[in-house]
Structure 1
Amino acid sequence: MRRGWGVDARGRSAWRRGWLPAALALLVGVLLTGHALLPNRIGRLGSLLETFLPWLGAAVPVLLLPALLRRSVAALLALALPVTAWLGLFGAALLPGDPGDGSDGGITVVQHNVSDTNPDPAGTAGALARVRADLVGIQELTAPAMSAYAAVLGRDYPYRSVHGTVGLWSRHPLLDDRPLDIRPAGFGPDWNRGLRATARMPGGDVAVYVAHLPSVRFGLPDGFGTARRDESAGLLARAIDAEPLATVILLGDLNSTVHDRGLAPVRELLPSTAPAFPFSWPAALPVARIDQVMARSVTVADLWTLPATGSDHLPIAARLGR
């Protein structure tokens, strides 16, 4: 029989029992703090871990229960490592933010993969327009749905750029818009999922990129199949690196989370991005945010999800400021 937090029936003190939950807690803490050191050579396990990195925090309450049941001081102290690491990575996302209404002179943007099987493109376009953003970036546009998006968004967004399956709607003039070639090797000329345009904003010209990186797959023998996505991210980074305008905004379904090393070439060039929260995919039960707003020379001050549309992604909106 346990004797409170003292010696148990087997003569073990609170410091000497509960080593298994203590070891597991330390392992979780090490993965959180050292995830970048996990090699990607075997099944791209590093990218897989980083995609779902916030969920490692769920191990804390799971391990807290046996630590308390076993009255283990060692396990409780070990839990301090994952708690501290998780808060360091994601704690800022728990603080309340103010989306704002545009009155502060900042830029409001919306990013949404609308899904090429969306049954209600007009309703989706209306939901995006209600945000009253300055810029709206869209992926998975289809020819049959294009007229619905053009009709609804065109009421408030007189300027647009559409190339392939990606589009940009703007309240401000768009200049020098062109397709952006981010095709991995072996992809045909009909795969066009990137564009670049100059938005003539009240505060100055802004280079706006809209991109949809290749999807990833999980299975044998490749494991977490991110090679084509990573190659496309490298091409996107190369274009951004050559961008002459100082201010850059990227709106995209990058099929990558902010911590995924596959996005590192882009993240290094566009250092301002929101934390991993809130999640945007899948819309029915979001477990990760693979839709991103990233920027250079302006700060992503806040990011939030919008109500579900007919897509398998949730739309996201963000406020950017100097």
Structure 2
Amino acid sequence: MTNGGTGAQPFGSRLRSLLERVRDDRGVWRRGILIALFAVVIAFLMILHAQIPNRIGNVGSLAETFLPWLGLFIPVILVAALLRRSATALIALLLPLIVWLNLFGGLLTGKSAAAGGDLTVATHNVNAENPDPAGTAKDVAASGADVVALQELPIGQVSAYEKALAGTYKYHEVQGTVGLWSKHPLSAAAPVDIRLGWTRAMRATVAAPGGEVAVYVAHMPSVRVKVNAGFTANQRDKSSDALGEAIAREQVRRVVLLGDLNGTMNDRSLNAITSQLRSTQGAAGDGFGFSWPASFPMARIDQILVRGVEPVSSWTLPRTASDHLPIAARVDL
């Protein structure tokens, strides 16, 4: 006769429950193996990005141009791991997360100083097809920069930029399709041969109050993605080497490079330049500072690089009629 209680669970039922629990626990670890492997692949792509070959379609440089965007896979992997209830995938996710934070975590925090700096510089690829050159020039001048570099200046529109900037900048030099405007005297202005056959780079000495500064302005050849040729960057790479050689020969201690390099600081093909200079954005900027395309910036191919001066702050400027965003920086001489 029973009293209505549940009583002790039979030994056989307890054993079956234990086995089911063990199977469930093992499933947590077995599920999501492919997700975990994908997380490991993303991590190793970031770790070994310099080893991705450029022999076919310059795919290595393409990956390095958009390297920070690999971080978008991290929340995707997280969601997939949670949906699969996979402990293995969640643990594997730590690898790409740690690698990404090591590479780019420093860009998540603002490093720009609110004040300071002897010299403010700005650079802008104004776009040869810009429908409003005067407005674009005035927008850049509104940044308050002491020195402004412009690239992709069409011969027929140079006078429009000169007229728009004349009231703010007393001194200027134009060489080919690049130009430099300054509130301080300029001297020794000359083109820089970047092996293109026409002028898309120049150098001038700026007599800043804190001392002379060698300012380079450059517009590296465009990088294209073609169906039959991949990421074509050979001419850009040759020009990068030539500009790097010119900077290496520079006798003035303080050097500032302003321009559209058609590549990021991660791009190995710019090593001839980036190995000699510091990025103001990396040293003292807020965020990634993406500058292109202006409608939805995905990469910082416009650069302010320095040597012999101390970056204080670096930022992007408001959008103009160009397909690039202008960028600016303050430095201590």
Q: Same fold (TM over 0.5)?
A: yes
Tell me whether 222-231 or 297-306 shows the greater mean CA deviation: 297-306
Counterparts of 1:126-205 in structure 2 under 5 Å?
126-184=138-196, 191-205=198-212
Tell me whether 275-284 or 152-161 shows the greater mean CA deviation: 275-284
Q: Match for 2:276: what amino acid?
A: L
Aligned to 2:316: 305
More helix as a share of residues:
2
8 Å contact kept, 2:280–2:313: no
Q: Match for 1:197: what amino acid?
A: A
Aligned to 1:228: 235
Q: Percent identity?
A: 52
Q: Distance in 2 between the 1:260 and 1:42 partners?
A: 16
Q: Distance in 2 between the 1:280 and 1:272 partners?
A: 14
Counterpart of 2:134 (choices 109, 122, 132) is: 122
Query: CA offsets per residue over residues 243-263 of structure 1, 9 Å max, x none?
Result: 011111000101111101111
Deviation at 1:289, TM superposition (A): 1.1
Counterparts of 1:202-213 in structure 2 under 5 Å?
202-213=209-220
Q: Distance in 1 between the 2:93 and 2:75 partners?
A: 9
8 Å contact kept, 2:191–2:199: yes
8 Å contact kept, 2:150–2:179: yes
Deviation at 1:219, TM superposition (A): 1.7
Deviation at 1:143, TM superposition (A): 2.5
Q: Distance in 2 between the 1:137 and 1:305 partners?
A: 14
Q: Distance in 2 between the 1:193 and 1:48 partners?
A: 23
Aligned to 1:68: 82
Counterpart of 2:44 (choices 26, 30, 40) is: 30
Deviation at 1:300, TM superposition (A): 3.1
Q: Name the SS for the 1:269 alignment partner.
A: coil
Query: CA offsets per residue over residues 75-104 of structure 1, 9 Å max, x none?
Result: 111111111111111111111243646xx2
Deviation at 1:307, TM superposition (A): 1.3
Q: Distance in 1 between the 2:22 and 2:235 partners?
A: 56
Aligned to 2:300: 289
Q: Name the SS for the 1:310 alignment partner.
A: coil
Q: Name the SS for the 2:28 alignment partner.
A: coil
Query: CA offsets per residue over residues 175-232 of structure 1, 9 Å max, x none?
Result: 1010111124xxxxx6210100001111111100000010011124431101000000
Deviation at 1:11, TM superposition (A): 7.1
Aligned to 1:3: none
Q: Name the SS for the 2:206 alignment partner.
A: strand
Aligned to 2:110: 96
Q: Match for 1:313: what amino acid?
A: H
Q: Distance in 2 between the 1:89 and 1:225 partners?
A: 26
Relative to structure 1, the CA distance from residue 195 to residue 259 in structure 2 (aligned partners, 3 Å threshold; closer, same or farther) is same
Aligned to 1:187: none
Q: Name the SS for the 1:13 alignment partner.
A: helix
Q: Distance in 2 between the 1:221 and 1:8 partners?
A: 54
Q: Distance in 1 between the 2:290 and 2:245 partners?
A: 27
Which of these two proteins has the greater Rg computed from alpha carbons? 2
Q: Distance in 1 between the 2:155 and 2:229 partners?
A: 34
Q: How many residues align?
A: 311
8 Å contact kept, 1:283–1:308: yes
Tell me whether 219-228 or 67-76 shows the greater mean CA deviation: 219-228
Q: Name the SS for the 1:93 alignment partner.
A: helix
Q: Distance in 2 between the 1:58 and 1:250 partners?
A: 31
Relative to structure 1, the CA distance from residue 11 to residue 270 in structure 2 (aligned partners, 3 Å threshold; closer, same or farther) is closer
Relative to structure 1, the CA distance from residue 56 to residue 69 in structure 2 (aligned partners, 3 Å threshold; closer, same or farther) is same
5+ residue gaps, structure 1, are: 1-5, 185-189
8 Å contact kept, 2:117–2:331: no
Counterpart of 1:45 (choices 50, 59, 72) is: 59
Q: Distance in 1 between the 2:31 and 2:222 partners?
A: 46
Q: Match for 2:171: what amino acid?
A: Y
Q: Distance in 1 between the 2:22 and 2:34 partners?
A: 17
Relative to structure 1, the CA distance from residue 166 to residue 151 in structure 2 (aligned partners, 3 Å threshold; closer, same or farther) is same
